[in-house]
Amino acid sequence: MPRYTNSINELASLLHNIELSRRAGLPNMYYDTQSLLYTEAMDYRESFPPSAFASLYPTQEAWDAHLMDERNVLDAQQIIHTSRWREEIQARDARYMAEQAAAAEMERELFSEREFFGMDGFDPNTTTSFTDYMSTDPPADS
State the pLDDT at residue 65: 96
Average pLDDT, the chain: 83
Q: pLDDT by residue (tens digit) across 31-87? A: 888 999 999 999 999 988 878 878 889 999 999 999 999 999 999 999 999 999 999
Q: What angle do CA 31, 37, 40 make, to 5 degrees?
A: 115
pLDDT at residue number 3: 84
CA end-to-end span of the chain: 119
Quick one: which H or E segment has residue 36? Answer: helix 36-47
> Looking at the predicted structure, is the pLDDT value of residue 102 above 90?
yes
Q: How confident is the model at residue 103 (pLDDT cuts 50, 70, 90)?
A: very high
Q: What is the pLDDT of residue 90?
A: 97
Q: State residue 39's pLDDT score.
A: 93
Supply φ then ψ for residue 57, to 5 degrees: -135, 85
Q: Look at residue 19 and tell me whether its pLDDT is greater than 60.
A: yes
Question: In this model, does residue 17 exceed pLDDT 70?
Answer: yes
pTM over 0.75: no
CB 31: neighbour CB atoms within 10 A?
A: 13
Cα gap 54→127, rounded to integer Å: 97
Rg (CA), the chain: 40
